Structure 1
Amino acid sequence: MNRQIVSTGTEWESRVGYSRAVRLGSHVHVSGTTATNEEGEFTGDDDPYEQAVQALANIENALHRMNATMNDVVRTRMYVTNVDNWEEVRRAHGEMFGDIPPTTSMVEVTRLIEPEMLVEIEAEALIVAQGTDSA
């Protein structure tokens, strides 16, 4: 089975030793993703909604590079540094997934790798050929 990886080229990937996303067969796993733009610069300032929107856009970009879409996502995990911000993070998640909601978890953590990061999101996708659903 072919293993494909997607890298963003950020310093964190080489320092920590991970890939943005890995596809093995029909499974795609997207690493914990934060609010960084295409240049690797942090965005979203002190706004958990904007940070979640950017993180989800980064996940969508990684999926597209693996020939997958947000429609293929079956699970997300959201890590927040303040659970009181859950409504803002939930709103961004709900806007992204609309009528195709995956299973999910939201967990409060003490902190993320950088102090300005309020949200980190990871995703798992399963690419199923059209017409093969057993539902």
Structure 2
Amino acid sequence: MKKVSIIYGSTTGNTERVAEMIKDNMAECDVTVANVCNVKDDMITSADLVLFGSSTWGYGEIQDDFLGFYESMNSGLLSGKEVAVFGCGDNDGFPDVFCEAVNLITEKASECGAKVIGEGLKVDGDVDDNIAAIEAFAKSLA
């Protein structure tokens, strides 16, 4: 059984909700979901696949809780690890930096030697308006 760790940073609860929805759609996997504030290295090193989730704030900034983890990401932790990224954003209010956190985390994971799989999931606005995309993303990784 594929072991998956979903690690997220969420301010309003939307990214946390997406993380849980992804888990619910990966029933054939052994999935652990954790707030980035509670992450231990073994949650990454022991997983076959790691999903990182962060909302985008301000003008293209990574969510506050996730930022410290992002800055500490390194090749010792991520080299050779399969990684996928998701996040929430506001395309209407910030179209030129929509879900920039997804782009930044994807780039950093790649720089650390991770094998980024799939295209990052970018959830626009209300999570309920994106259920089909979230389910498809999860099932593509299972």
- Pick the structure with more helix per residue: 2
Higher alpha-carbon Rg:
1
> TM exceeds 0.5?
no
TM-score band, normalised by the shorter chain? 0.3 to 0.5
Q: Structure 1 length normalisation: TM-score?
A: 0.33
Q: Structure 2 length normalisation: TM-score?
A: 0.32
